[in-house]
Amino acid sequence: MEFGDKLRSLRTKAGLTQLDIAEKLDVSAAAIGAWENGRAKPRLTKLGQLAELFDTTVADLMGEDASEAAISGASHMVPLLGFAHMGEPCDEGSLADEVEVPASIADAHPRGFMVHAQGGCMDNRFPHDALLLVDPDMEPVNGQPVLAETADYGAVVRNYTRGRSTVMLTADSHSGEYDDILAGPGDEPVVCKGRVVWYMGERDERG
């Protein structure tokens, strides 16, 4: 049985609502719904709390036998914080709370977070619809992609270049139709939220 189906079955047998579970685990009811519908999975700490709540084991909750449970650390859940754009307006639809990424990637960027980025201004680097992992602890490097916030453009993904008194955010697109974002003395500052260090396609996960 898949995790979401297992969770729904246990919750129903216990006579609990999604809101009941959410309050016990200190998460949103939407998160419980996403777990049950298979759109997201809880972090290991929340899995442990769920197992305790339903008087079972994490392996049983995940539908694993003992041998499978031993390798369950192959991936980790990373928070998905919001949308960013790569040239076009974002789809401000609903988001899952977390995204599953390889454990080696998550471990290398312990404070990393994901954003759902859309648009074509970085299509030499990323798909038009991608989930990007941002490391807020890594300083921006000239020529490397960053997640930045600007007064006029909001949350954007561009290549970063810092001069003596200016910061430039440049597109990396085969079309060449996107303007650079330039901030100099007297302009509203560009706030770098971190470097983009990894990505996967929203629909086709990167191999």
CB–CB of 43/99 below 8 Å?
no
Residue 158: partners with Cβ closer than 8 Å, 6 or more residues away = 86, 121, 122, 145, 146, 148, 169, 170, 171, 172, 181
Question: And the tokens for 195?
Answer: 């470097």
Q: How far is Cα 84 from Cα 78, in angstroms, rounded to an integer?
A: 17
For the cut 80, the answer to whether the pLDDT of residue 192 exceeds it is yes
Pairing between β-strand 129-135 and β-strand 145-150 as defined by DSSP bridges: unpaired
| Digit-coded pLDDT (tens) for 57-74 | 776 777 644 333 333 457
Q: How crowded is residue 43: how many other Cβ atoms within 10 Å of its Cβ?
A: 15
Structure confidence at residue 140 (pLDDT): 92
Domain final residue pick, 55, 70, 85: 70
CATH of the domain at 35: 1.10.260.40
Residues 190 and 110 in one domain: yes
CB–CB of 37/4 below 8 Å?
yes
Domain total in the chain: 2
User: Could you tell me the pTM of the whole model?
Assistant: 0.61
Note down the domain range covering 9: 3-70
Residues 180 and 100 in one domain: yes
Domain final residue pick, 24, 52, 70: 70
| Digit-coded pLDDT (tens) for 132-190 | 999 999 999 999 999 998 887 788 999 999 998 999 999 999 888 888 899 998 888 88
Q: How far is Cα 60 from Cα 206, in angstroms, rounded to an integer?
A: 29
DSSP assignments along 140-164, one per residue:
P-TTSEEEEEETTTEEEEEEEEE-S
